């Protein structure tokens, strides 16, 4: 099928290359010439496992091209909208300007029978509004809301083999016809038996934010338990293992630590609360305010422990921060808890030295005041304190005895509860986890 993808950042770059892999003929459009140049040259514009290989592979097929020319979408039967919906400056609500601009740019090229597929995360009610706008310009085109559930770090895998597919469709023959078109787009994953949920627009929109809210709640729940464990002298890791054996609860997303960040969970729960308020249902989501508060409190707690282990003050103390990305296997630093903690310690007078296998360039752009070192050894050299804040595999598997030789004082704060406390203590370290004795 001929498919256009509007917006070629994280979501669009992965979606477009995966659609080409599924056998479609894909045109990606973005207003950012740098992004388009990189993708056109077959280079991944950000670090995402598997993306570079996929782009290199697809570059040779002639089925995947990128452009800044919005008119290039003409002739595609299906148009994916994959632009960002960041948090509005100074507010909780989502900024929909990119979605609106993408739809406006698409309208002149829409032909009868075209299907527009909304993938961006939007406040409930947006699809109904956009469908009306599309109908004004091209009454025979149909909008489908098809939320995306990919995780950074597993984006290619999640897109090629999703755990479910959701279509939000309008009633009647137009919806039925659009469903057949999307079934063809997703023929490969559907043939693998991927569950398909067909529903209406508002439900499809809500599925996405409900899923992210649940995940955020799960993380804040275990972080609240970590606070309790800290005052009671208990171990939140053992607690999570034990409750996780109950398959109604499950062990996934019960890792206590410095909490969630990234371009999705934090802004999605805030936008959801804002939208609920507009709909007069704010009470239903007041618990998400607490989820957000618990999450941010973990960052305060790490800074507090750092001060404690350094005898009351971080001023002029050398602190090595391992990890800048919001999670491992990503170079994304949007709302990264690791960088936030590093910045707070820096402001409080510490000499902070940050390292990360892939995210230093992005981190330098958002936090230019911090010191970055590409090598782990340089970052920890002479440190009074080591903070593990993003659980990259190379940090989790560090040899505590070797590392002890490089630092000035062997004190480690394990912000992700991924190190083996006994092994580190046996190697002479003072070990502090979050919610661990």
Please report which helix (H) or strand (E) contains residue 399, including its range. none
In this chain, which of 143, 264, 339, 413 binds ligand UGA, going by CB under 6 A? 264
Q: Is 418 in the site for ligand UGA (CB under 6 A)?
A: no
Q: Which stretch binds ligand UGA (CB under 6 A): 247-255, 377-385, 402-410, 419-427?
A: 247-255
For residue 114, the minimal CB distance to ligand UGA (Å) is: 25
Helices (H), 310-367: 337-347, 360-366
Q: Which stretch binds ligand UGA (CB under 6 A): 34-42, 73-81, 107-115, 252-260?
A: 252-260
For residue 381, the minimal CB distance to ligand UGA (Å) is: 27
Q: In what order do the strands lie in the sheet with 25-29?
A: 64-67, 25-29, 2-6, 78-81, 115-118, 142-145, 165-168, 196-199
Q: Which stretch binds ligand UGA (CB under 6 A): 169-177, 253-261, 309-317, 419-427?
A: 253-261
What distance in Å separates the CA atoms of residue 71 and residue 331, rounded to the nearest whole number? 32
For residue 252, the minimal CB distance to ligand UGA (Å) is: 7
Q: Which stretch binds ligand UGA (CB under 6 A): 60-68, 90-98, 258-266, 395-403?
A: 258-266
In this chain, which of 7, 12, 28, 262 binds ligand UGA, going by CB under 6 A? 262
In this chain, which of 42, 92, 253, 361 binds ligand UGA, going by CB under 6 A? 253
Q: The tokens of 421 are what?
A: 């406390």
Cβ neighbour number for residue 290 with a 10 Å cutoff: 12
For residue 128, the minimal CB distance to ligand UGA (Å) is: 21
Q: Is 340 in the site for ligand UGA (CB under 6 A)?
A: no
Q: Whose Cβ is closer to ligand UGA: residue 44's or residue 181's?
A: 44
Task: Please report, for the chain, how many H helices and E strands are present, in that order.
Answer: 18, 14
For residue 209, the minimal CB distance to ligand UGA (Å) is: 9
Cβ neighbour number for residue 308 with a 10 Å cutoff: 11
Q: Is 259 in the site for ligand UGA (CB under 6 A)?
A: yes
What distance in Å separates the CA atoms of residue 386 and residue 413, rounded to the nearest whole number? 6
158-164: long-range contacts (C-beta < 8 A, 24 or more apart)? 159/14, 159/15, 159/18, 160/18, 160/21, 160/22, 160/188, 160/189, 161/189, 161/192, 161/194, 162/189, 162/194, 163/194, 163/195, 164/194, 164/195, 164/196, 164/197
Q: Per CB under 6 A, which of residues 145..164 are in contact with ligand UGA?
A: 148-152
Q: Is 254 in the site for ligand UGA (CB under 6 A)?
A: yes
3-class secondary structure, 295: helix
Q: Which stretch binds ligand UGA (CB under 6 A): 36-44, 81-89, 143-151, 306-314?
A: 143-151
What distance in Å separates the CA atoms of residue 360 and residue 354, rounded to the nearest whole number? 8
Q: Is 255 in the site for ligand UGA (CB under 6 A)?
A: yes
In this chain, which of 7, 84, 257, 435 binds ligand UGA, going by CB under 6 A? 257
8 Å CB contact between 164 and 197: yes
Binding to ligand UGA by CB under 6 A, coded x per residue (else -) over 174-193, reads --------------------
Catalytic residue IDs: 264
Burial pattern 191-204, b for ≥16 Cβ within 10 A else e, equals: eeeeebebebbeeb
Binding to ligand UGA by CB under 6 A, coded x per residue (else -) over 210-229, reads --x--x---x----------
Q: Whose Cβ is closer to ligand UGA: residue 58's or residue 212's?
A: 212
Q: Whose Cβ is closer to ligand UGA: residue 154's or residue 287's?
A: 154
Beta bridge partners of 91: none
Give whole-number Cα distances, 153 to 47, 262, 285, 327, 328, in Å. Answer: 8, 12, 29, 8, 7
8 Å CB contact between 416 and 226: no
Q: Is 287 in the site for ligand UGA (CB under 6 A)?
A: no
Q: The tokens of 240 are what?
A: 């999570």
Q: Is 206 in the site for ligand UGA (CB under 6 A)?
A: no
- Residue indicated by tokens 């609360």: 273
Q: Whose Cβ is closer to ligand UGA: residue 253's or residue 287's?
A: 253
Please report which helix (H) or strand (E) contains residue 318, including its range. strand 318-322
In this chain, which of 186, 272, 326, 392 binds ligand UGA, going by CB under 6 A? 326
For residue 253, the minimal CB distance to ligand UGA (Å) is: 4
The contact set with ligand UGA (CB under 6 A) reads: 121, 148-152, 212, 215, 219, 253-255, 257, 259-262, 264-265, 268, 326-327
């Amino acid at each position: 099928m001929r498919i256009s993808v509007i917006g070629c950042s994280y979501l669009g770059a992965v979606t477009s290359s995966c659609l080409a892999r599924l056998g479609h003929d894909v045109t990606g459009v973005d207003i950012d010439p740098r992004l388009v140049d990189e993708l056109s040259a077959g280079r991944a514009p950000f670090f995402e496992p598997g993306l570079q290989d996929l782009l290199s592979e697809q570059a040779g097929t002639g089925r995947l091209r990128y452009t800044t020319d919005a008119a290039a979408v003409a002739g595609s039967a299906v148009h994916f909208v994959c632009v960002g919906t960041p948090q509005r400056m100074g507010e909780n609500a989502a900024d929909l300007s990119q979605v609106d601009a993408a739809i406006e740019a698409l309208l002149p090229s829409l032909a009868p029978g075209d299907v527009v597929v909304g993938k961006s995360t939007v406040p409930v009610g947006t699809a109904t509004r956009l469908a009306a706008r599309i109908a004004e310009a091209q009454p025979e085109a149909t909008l489908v809301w098809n939320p995306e559930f990919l995780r950074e770090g597993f984006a290619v895998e999640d897109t090629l083999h999703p755990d479910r597919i959701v279509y939000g469709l309008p009633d009647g023959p137009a919806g039925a016809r659009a469903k057949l078109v999307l079934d063809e787009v997703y023929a490969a994953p559907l043939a693998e038996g991927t569950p398909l949920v067909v529903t209406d627009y508002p439900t499809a929109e809500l599925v996405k934010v409900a899923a992210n809210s649940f995940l955020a709640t799960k993380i804040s729940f275990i972080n609240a338990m970590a606070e309790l464990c800290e005052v009671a002298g208990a171990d939140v890791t053992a607690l999570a293992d034990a409750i996780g054996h109950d398959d109604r609860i499950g062990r996934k997303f019960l890792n206590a630590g410095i909490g969630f960040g990234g371009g999705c969970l934090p802004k999605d729960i805030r936008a959801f609360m804002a939208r609920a308020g507009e709909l007069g249902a704010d009470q239903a989501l007041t618990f998400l305010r607490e989820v957000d508060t618990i999450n941010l409190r973990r960052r305060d707690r790490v800074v507090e422990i750092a001060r404690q282990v350094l005898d009351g003050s971080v001023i002029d103390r050398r602190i090595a921060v391992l990890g800048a990305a919001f999670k491992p296997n990503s170079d994304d630093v949007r709302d990264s808890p690791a960088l936030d903690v590093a910045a707070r310690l820096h402001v409080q007078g510490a000499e902070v030295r940050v390292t990360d296998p892939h995210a230093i360039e992005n981190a330098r752009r958002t936090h230019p005041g911090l010191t970055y070192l590409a090598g782990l050894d340089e970052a920890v050299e002479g440190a009074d304190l080591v903070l593990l804040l993003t659980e990259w595999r190379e940090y989790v598997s560090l040899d505590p005895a070797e590392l002890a030789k490089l630092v000035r004082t062997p004190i480690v704060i394990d912000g992700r509860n991924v190190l083996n406390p006994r092994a580190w203590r046996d190697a002479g370290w003072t070990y502090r986890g979050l919610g661990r004795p």
